[in-house]
Structure 1
Amino acid sequence: MSNRMLDEQDLLGPLLSKITCPHCWHVFQPADTLWISEHPDLLGDRLLGPHVPQRFLPNRFTPQGKALDSRGMPTSRLACPHCHLEIPRGIFHLRPVFFSLLGAPASGKSYFLTTMIWRLRKLLPEKFGLALTDLDAIHNHRLQEYENTLFLNRDGQTPVELPKTETTGDLYNLVMLGGAPVQYIKPFLFSIQPVGKHPRANLGLRGGRALVVYDNAGESFLPGADSARSPVTRHLALSAAWFFVFDPTQDLRFRREVSRISDDPQVRMDLDRPAREVPYRQDVILREAWERVLRHHEAPLRRGMPPLVVIVAKADCWGPLLPCWPLPEPYRMTAKGVAGVSIERIVEVSSAVRSLMEQYVPEIVAAAETLSRDVIYIPVSATGCSPETNERGEIIGFLPSKIQPIWVETPILYTLVRWMPGLVGRLVGSTSRGAAG
Structure 2
Amino acid sequence: MGKGGQGNKGGPKYLTWEEIKKHSIKTDRWIVIDGEVYDVTRWSDKHPGGSRLLGHYSGQDATEPFIAFHNDLSHPKKFLKALHVGTLALSEKQTKDIVEDFEELRKKAEKMGLFQPSYFFFAVVLLHILILEALSYLNMWYFGTGWIPWIVSVVLYSTVQAQVGWLQHDFGHLSVFKNSKIDHVLHQFTMGFIKGASAHWWNHMHYQHHAKPNVMGKDPDVRLEELFVVGETMPVKIAKKKKNSMPYNLQHKYFFVIGPPLLFPVYFQIMLFRHIFTRKKWLDLFTVSLFFAKLFYLYTPLLGVGGTILFYFTIRCVESHWFTWVTQSNHIPMEIDEDKEEPWMPLQMHATCDVEQSFFNDWFTGHLNFQIEHHLFPTMPRHNYYKVQPMVKELCKKHGIKHEVKKLSTAFKDIVRTLKHSGELWYATYSAFHSD
Structure number with the higher strand fraction is 1
TM-score by length of 2: 0.24
Task: Compute the TM-score of the two structures, normalised by the length of structure 1.
Answer: 0.24
Q: Which has the higher contact order (CA 8 A, sep 6+)?
A: 2
